[in-house]
Amino acid sequence: MTSSLHTAEKAGTERAPGRWIALGVLVLAVLLVAVDATVLGLATPYLSEDLQPSGTQLLWIGDAYSFVIAGLLISMGSLGDRIGRKRLLLIGATAFGLVSILNAYARTPEMMIVARALLGVAGATLMPSTLALIRNLFQDPRERSLAIGIWSAAASAGMAVGPIVGGVLLEHFWWGSVFLINLPVMALLVVVGIRMLPESRNPSPGPWDLPSVFLSLVGMVGVVYAIKEAAADGFTRPILAAGVLGAAALYGFVRRQRALPVPLVDVRLFRNRGFSGAVVANLLTILGLSGLLFFLSQYLQLVQDRRPIEAGIAELPAAAGAVVAGLIAGAAARRFSVRAVVSGGLAVIGLSLAALTTLTQSTGYPLIGTTLLVVGFGAGLSFTVTSDIILTAVPKEQAGAASAVSETAYELGTALGIALLGSVVTNIYQDFTGPAGTPEAAHESLAGAVVAAAHLPADTAAALLQAARESFVDGVALAAGVGAGLLLLASAVAWFLLRGQKLTTEPVQH
């Protein structure tokens, strides 16, 4: 039975005539997750005005999705290996669409945080499934590199589509409309996916270990929460307790995986220097990028007074650079070397971010646009090649778990980036000295200052906005410097750990 299933999977996926159409379906899921992430940053000023979250709640609204998705990715990737990646993808897509309605109609900051967390549960089923299905759809290594490049480019294109579509919606509708766009895309994905996607799973999966699922979730959320809160408020007893609990849960998770005959993820994979190097490079890269990019949309709108659609178009170069790089990354890594392409891409990002340390309220767009273009290109090179390395380091039956490790590094980096770099920006911002009578809400966030200024006399409002914007820009500039340092560190780590690593040139053996 197992042999016949394995043979059927091989026949259905190797050089399958519909594999490129199937890739198009998978790209829809990636686009949607990327759009959902970027559109939130654009909607933040409007959401802040309506829900009036505190500065900490605003960071939680940005973080909740990533916290939960990071905690569940490994478990969901392993579940897809067991019950079928197509089945899990379609279930997750349906849930993602339904929970988007809850996000759109949230009426309090607390409800919004819960809605974002639930969206993370659904999102955790999508990304590992898409990469794992690509691993099984494309057996030819050059085709697979191109397919991963298209997948990576789609994620980057979502960064461009999100702000532009979001900008149009925000100029005509309320902020909740940016979540409702998920519904038609997910409906299309489900309808087409049912017909076009082949099913694939591990033919000998073993049981899905619920204690491991629990340990993974508690460990990830506990550690990330502790780092986030410590960056904002210092080390207190509750924060230390959360960190210790999270670390203990992760230790227990690793111990349990080594003892199980069929673990959720084979932790021995990390003995492979190439696999470890790719995962660490991904984590450090997104950590250095995400916190800064989270605040860039606010800078363009609240500091430079750009309309939402103008801010969206202004961020387009990052996606354009990443799309181009994603399509050529595999060929470049084979022509030169894996470590040269990955390390070079990360170093380019780091040097570009360093340029943003000169940011002021009146910085011209040529500097911002050029920086975003180069950052996108470097990220496209790095992520495409590291994703290929991670996927091909494991047998295809474990593709879901390996994809989940890759996505966990990405989402963990996102959460930590928003937490750490976001806290840098917030702490510097909150220290600004406003005119007499400045409301306390103005010190919570820049959006809060803009709302408060609207209810003050003209002279007082102008002085408040000038002080608040100057402080916010100082915070963003410092965060850019920290991000630059992290990216240069990631470049050095990749150069060391990826030494001698090559992309596969032979078809995958079954």
> E strand or H helix at 505, and its extent?
none
What's the mean pLDDT in 482-500? 87
Of 235 and 37, the structure prediction assigns the larger pLDDT to 235
Of 4 and 492, the structure prediction assigns the larger pLDDT to 492
Element counts in the chain: helices (H) and strands (E): 19, 0
Distance between CA atoms of residues 58 and 70, nearest Å: 19
Burial class (CB in 10 A: 0-12, 13-18, 19+), 142: middle
pLDDT in tens, 41-64: 667 778 887 888 877 777 778 778
Distance between CA atoms of residues 196 and 174, nearest Å: 35
Lowest-confidence region among 99-108, 227-236, 345-354, 452-461: 227-236
pLDDT in tens, 248-274: 999 999 899 888 887 877 787 788 788
Distance between CA atoms of residues 328 and 311, nearest Å: 28
What's the mean pLDDT in 315-338? 83
Percent of the chain with pLDDT over 90: 5
Is 393:269 a contact under the CB 8 Å cutoff? yes
pLDDT band at 244 (very low <50, low <70, confident <90, very high): very high
Q: Is the pLDDT of residue 288 over 80?
A: no
Distance between CA atoms of residues 193 and 491, nearest Å: 38
Q: Is the pLDDT of residue 397 over 70?
A: no
Q: Which string of b and e fits 215-251 if b means at least 16 CB within 10 Å?
A: bbbbbbbbbbbbbbbbbbeeeeeebeebbebbeebbe
Please give the C-alpha separations between residue 92 and each of 76, 85, 96, 121, in angstroms, as whole numbers. Answer: 10, 10, 6, 8
How far is the first Cα of the chain from the last one, in angstroms, to the nearest whole number?
16
Report the pLDDT value the prediction gives residue 188, as an integer from 0 to 100. Answer: 83
Distance between CA atoms of residues 252 and 267, nearest Å: 12
Is 108:54 a contact under the CB 8 Å cutoff? no
Report the pLDDT value the prediction gives residue 222, as an integer from 0 to 100. Answer: 86
Please give the C-alpha separations between residue 345 and each of 89, 284, 285, 319, 348, in angstroms, as whole numbers. Answer: 31, 13, 10, 15, 5
**Coil/strand/helix, residue 489:** helix
Of 113 and 175, the structure prediction assigns the larger pLDDT to 113
pLDDT in tens, 155-179: 766 666 666 777 778 778 888 888 8
